Amino acid sequence: MGLLEAYLDWKGQALRALEENKGLGVEAGREVVVCGMGGSGIVGDYLASLSTRLGGLPVYVVKDYRLPRWVGDESLVVAVSYSGNTVETLSCYSEAVEKKAKRLVVTSGGRLGERAKRLGDPVAVVEKGPAARAVFASLFYATLAPLAEAGAVRVGLRELETAARVLEPSVEARREAESLARATSGGRVVVFTACCEYAALAWRLKNEYNENAKAAAKAESLPELGHNEIQSWPSAAEKYTLVLLDPGEEPHTSLLQGAAGIAGLESYRLVLRGESFLERILWGSLVGGLASIKLAELRGVDPAEIPAIKEYRGRVEELLARIEGAWG
Ligand code: F6R
């Protein structure tokens, strides 16, 4: 399956993941610690936003080799890795085992899948696809289903099923994606900005632009950006294209648009469709993902290839093998 085809099947991915990952018997614990990198790690950011917004257990996101010291047998550690072979996530999972934390593994297989099976840990299965970012809906729903069932995130399975409808690649979503891609094709650094819990979406779209379109992009969030970033805008007038992620439910976007106008910055407003927070971040993820693939086409690059990331991953593995070898 091609990259674009996989994105166009996100609704199907979400519904299959929901169906297949019920009844895993996950224990919620006192807090949820989500470990993962890149296209898998973003699931942690989305979960943290959901729990901040809707309630549930506190969610901490770890994009690192080590777990926080306070993690213990009352914590639920969720190791998310599409490939199951990401060293940072494998390392956190090993620590979770040592600390006797409650555990959930979300993966399509790899070393993580094998270890979890050997230990008898619950495994939420992610479907195989061309890349982690292309099976986002499977990753997110495979993580959400058991956590929702365990009461760790205050969202019902029914609500998850309903929200998946916005992942249908409608004519409107495709039109929005095309228009966003064109508005950001001028070669400037694309700055995704969002307010509050929508910041996770800005991070996701920045990553999508980096990986699919090979485009320079960054993510900034309100209200914090009003206390630092904004001061640099007049000097970045020729360098940035601002993308304002607008859920239409808080007043910050017009404030931001005003500031961008004063600084002479090019800006584009992406109105997030949907009837709930969850629907709006899902819809924004789809439109941003499709826009990044369209931008790849406009820039003449292959959205599926990520050679620099592959090389980095290989080097980290080598380095760790050497360190572990030296430690005996
Ligand atoms: C996204 C992508 C990377 C990986 C990251 C972690 O498509 O390829 O961002 O997600 O390198 O790898 P996994 O997800 O396999 O743990």
Per-residue DSSP letter, 5: H
pLDDT exceeds cutoff 50 at 328? no
pLDDT exceeds cutoff 80 at 326? no
> Within 10 A of 255 (CB to CB), how many other CB atoms are there?
14
> Within 10 A of 28 (CB to CB), how many other CB atoms are there?
18
CA 38–ligand 1 middle distance (angstroms): 5
Q: Which residues pair with 75 in a beta bridge?
A: 31
What is the best residue among 82, 293, 302 to mutate for testing ligand 1's pocket, by most ligand atoms within 8 Å of CB?
82
What H or E segment, with its residue span, contains residue 142? helix 136-149
Query: Helices (DSSP H) in 99-133: which residue ranges?
Result: 110-119
In single-letter form, the type of residue at position 170 comes to S
- Give the three-class secondary structure for 92: helix
User: Mean pLDDT over residues 59-71, rounded?
Assistant: 97
Interatomic CA distance for residues 311 and 212, integer angstroms = 16
Give the model confidence (pLDDT) of 113-155 as tens digits: 999 999 999 999 999 999 999 999 999 999 999 999 999 999 9
210 Cβ inside 6 Å of ligand 1: no
Protein residue with least CA distance to atom 9, ligand 1: 38
Question: Which tokens sit at 129?
Answer: 């696809």
CA 31–ligand 1 middle distance (angstroms): 25
Global pTM value: 0.96
pLDDT exceeds cutoff 80 at 275? yes
Which residues neighbour 248 within 8 Å (Cβ) at sequence distance 6 or greater?
Answer: 271, 272
